[in-house]
Structure 1
């Protein structure tokens, strides 16, 4: 996978699935995943757009050398677009990817042509949930990726479905990267009040069985972004919606992208 080093000294691994002549779409993955989680989207509409996946800090092939926040990762994403010579792109973000996509749209509104947000939230993590995540980090630091943590991750993120290929990745995750990733998740800031500053068209999709964020989190985003389309709810959809429910969400994504690019 190609790697760039940003002007801030951050390495970013990415994959460019298209060519210069196609409309550009940056896909931002969920917590504990990497760019490979968008394999279904690359297969479903990769011939129609220039799909670019990147591994976010402390995930996949992109390291984190120090504590970071999602504003830092948004800067990484913009630097990747710069490296690829892309002035404007649509952004698709699932869960954590949505945190980053919204921050990209706030940092550089002229760079984000459209924003598709799946299973995400603009709010800070609830204090009790943040505390639980930090407790999980403490267990991981002391005991490593014990079965209970892997099963908990699968339950929250994938609706309990077991994916051995991803579980192998989770078990191989370097502990120092896990701790940095969890702290970025647990400690993120609230941007609800800034949603009206997002000027691009937006599409928000949310699963009715999302175990991390209630549908109300998606409704809050739709209400806050001025050019948001009506909320799309996916019956029985799980938290990592673009991965677990690709057949349901990809037609919506394709239609939205064609309308905006």
Structure 2
């Protein structure tokens, strides 16, 4: 479910949902910011937030992007650049001057933007199950998905000049989204939980408008291929071998474009699905420890 904790930031007059491990920031520990994937909330990182092994050594700050969880803003329109800036401001408001950042899927695009916008504040990025391109025709020839045909009917259906206070997200949206994310890691309990979460977060007219914009961003995002060479911090990329969204070819090409990074490496997780933190929490925990020190 959506976070119960929020912080107000100046950009777009946004209210940002977050959760901090152990309920407080320990200045003696390094901090890792966790960016949620599409239609998820801070609960996506529950295994990490509740891991004594991790939280003994690292502050974990899970953040919900614009259009996700408890995060809202004054503008109906926003982009992933806005989400990156809002997250940086939330960090500042919570007393996190510097941090590592982990982002899965859309979170990968956001942590890269954070490293570009505030290079002095991002110590390293963990990109997981992602792509640095737009949803381009070239990427589709290399095994990436095409979200436009899937998203277009819903964007049309969710567009309305009059409020719809009775809006409810249908299973025709929820089931494919969870199927793509969870893959072979799907369980009845996980599907039930996330179905209820999505319906609750995106209910009523505000929910309709937030879901429409989050989906529009997904379908029409800009690429970063000509920018990521400017990122200086270490980049560790993890990709599941069973990821139906971005496959295994594109990550091998894109990791080579981080030419300015002090370290850039790609690791494949055998059998990993798109939601790697769900299918392989142990490997994700090990990846965090390898990066954060």
TM-score by length of 1: 0.92
State the match for 2:195 in structure 1: 167
Distance of 1:62 and 1:26 partners within structure 2: 16
Check conservation: 2:34, 2:103, Cα contact below 8 A: yes
Distance of 2:280 and 2:153 partners within structure 1: 29
State the match for 1:125 in structure 2: 135
Q: Unpaired runs of 5+ in structure 1?
A: none
Worse-superposed segment, 167-176 or 75-84: 167-176
State the match for 2:17 in structure 1: 13
Distance of 2:171 and 2:81 partners within structure 1: 32
State the match for 1:239 in structure 2: 274
RMSD: 1.9
SS in 1 for 2:265: coil
Distance of 1:69 and 1:103 partners within structure 2: 11
Bigger radius of gyration, 1 or 2?
A: 2
Worse-superposed segment, 75-84 or 146-155: 146-155
State the match for 1:91 in structure 2: 101
After superposition, the C-alpha distances for 1:73-124 in whole angstroms (9 at most, x for unaligned) are 0000110121122221000101111111000011111110010010011111
SS in 2 for 1:121: coil
Matched pairs, number: 258
SS in 2 for 1:193: coil
Distance of 2:114 and 2:170 partners within structure 1: 35
Worse-superposed segment, 226-235 or 91-100: 226-235
State the match for 1:255 in structure 2: 290
State the match for 1:3 in structure 2: 6
State the match for 1:22 in structure 2: 29
2:39 is equivalent to residue 32 of structure 1: yes
Runs of 4+ more than 6 Å apart: none
Task: State which of 215, 222, 230 in structure 1 corresponds to 2:248.
Answer: 215
2:77 is equivalent to residue 53 of structure 1: no
